Every structure is written in C-alpha cells, then in structure tokens.
Amino acid sequence: MRGCETPATTAGAGGAHPALRAARMDRLGDWRFRALDFRAAACPNGAMTDHKPDLDAAYSLKTPEDSVRLYRDWASSYDTDFAAALDYRLPEATAAAFAEGGGEGPVLDVGAGTGLLGAALAERGIGPVDGLDISSEMLEAAAAKGCYRKLVQADLMRALPLDLGAYAGITSSGTFTHGHVGPEALDGLMQVAAPGALFALSIKVEIYEAMGFAEKFVSMGAQITGLELLDCAVYGPGADADHAGHRAMIARFRKA
C-alpha cells in the first residue's frame, strides 16, 4: 500500500487507511450489466497469436476470446513475471479499502485471476470468498492459494451463473482497465449483490471518464449509497520507470 496518499482534508474519508485517498462524489449513477455463463473457447482465426503474455498484450485485448488465450498462456508466470517483477500493489490496496469500509463475507472477487486479491482478503480474516474469472488457467493458479470457497469460470459480459443477492461484498482488482471490462458489466454485479453489500472495485484512472464510468455512476442514483473514489498507486517502488506512476481509483460504495 505504499505510494498512495491521503490528503489532510477529504470529504467522508475519516478513519481511512493512510495509503488511500478518498474523494466523495456529489452525484451518483445508474449502471447496467450483462452478466454471463462462459466456457473457454478457442481463439478464432488465429487471433492473438503474435501477442506474448505481458501487460502490453493485456491492454490491447479486444474480445473475450482474446482474454481467454492471453491468460491461458500467462497464468503460470503471472505472479512472478508481472506481479512480483513490477511490485504490483493494487490487490492489496483494494483489500484494504474493502476492509476499512466494513466489508465482510461472503465476497465475490471479480476477475480473480491468480488469487492475489483473494489472498489479501484472507490475510484480513475476510471470507468466505468466491472467485470469478474468464480464464480457467488463472483460476487453477488461484485455487492453489487455498483462499477461495469456490471458483467460477464466467464472462462478465454475459449472464452470471450465480444466485441473485448472494454476496455481502463485491471486490475487483485490475479488471476495469485498458482492454478489459467497462461499466456495462456492473448491472450483473449489482444483481448478485445483497442489499447493503459493499463494493470495492479498482478502475484505471485513464479510463474512468473515457470508458464511461463517471457517466454510469452519475446515472446510478438511488441504487447505491456512499460512493467514494479512493486514489492509489498501482505499483510500488519496485516498479520500473515505465510503470512507476500508474494510478487507479477504487470505487467504494454500497448497494442500497
């Protein structure tokens, strides 16, 4: 969590972790989501064949099939070649934001990947946690960490194979970013969240307005309460120069 800042005067930020900066928005919004039941599919027409598994390839993803292929190839080395090599701090920041907001289980970890956020939640005694991801190979890596109750392979842009209102918390780290998932996915997450459920979702700063997250929050209205945006560094001091300044915001709010 090093590298994030908390300004001296922040509306609604009392008691926040010193590594997070909270800024309460004046308006709330309405978002729609298409959830989904997904089974891994082969990449059609040889798509993504020239992309090696790295951050640049992840940011250039265009389709769910692209994601399946990339993360299939990246799963075995993701934690070492990416998370450790770049001092990836966003899962830790997201877990801290969820815990400090009073989050509790059961939790759905959206875009669980190799389980970095699930492990951070478990370290804080939060559970049970279920993980959802489009990549079965990433979920296999997550299973090895032993911090999930169950793991579900699904595409956020289709109907989620989960019970309505099943979760007291929804978390996500690194899913709402370049080449991945936009705000249209959020309706489905609202559907599987129980009334009063706490959300802590990281969103890459550069896409917050460009991909329509700001507009969606504004239109959300009475569906959510207490929306805050928590600013944090994506990477720690161990990151290289190309990534050291990357920022994300963690949208924290409750379902009304």
Of these ranges, 102-106, 134-138, 211-215, 244-248, the one predicted with the greatest mean pLDDT is 102-106
Cα–Cα distance for residue pair 59/136, rounded to 1 Å: 20
d(CA 37, CA 160): 5
Domain 21-35+83-255 sits in CATH 3.40.50.150: yes
Q: Judge whether 60 and 136 are in contact, CB under 8 Å.
A: no
Band of pLDDT at residue 242, cut at 50, 70 and 90: confident
pLDDT higher than 90, residue 34: no
Give the contacts of 34 (CB within 8 A, at least 6 positions apart): 157, 158, 159, 184, 185, 187, 188
Q: Please tell me whether residue 44 adopts helix, strand or coil conformation.
A: helix
**CA-wise closest residue to 68 among 139, 142, 116:** 139
Query: Distance between CA 53 and CA 180 in Å, rounded?
Result: 15
Give yes or no for residue 109 having a pLDDT over 50: yes
32, amino acid identity: R
| pLDDT of 229 | 97
pLDDT tens column, 2-22: 333 332 223 333 344 333 333
- Residue 22's pLDDT is 36
Residue 165, pLDDT score: 98
Task: Quote the pLDDT of residue 52.
Answer: 60
pLDDT at 55 over 70: no
Sketch the domain layout of the chain as residue ranges: 21-35+83-255
Q: What integer is the mean pLDDT of 48-71?
A: 53
Looking at the DSSP assignment, which residues form a beta bridge with residue 204?
A: 248
Query: In the predicted model, what is the mean pLDDT of the chain?
Result: 77
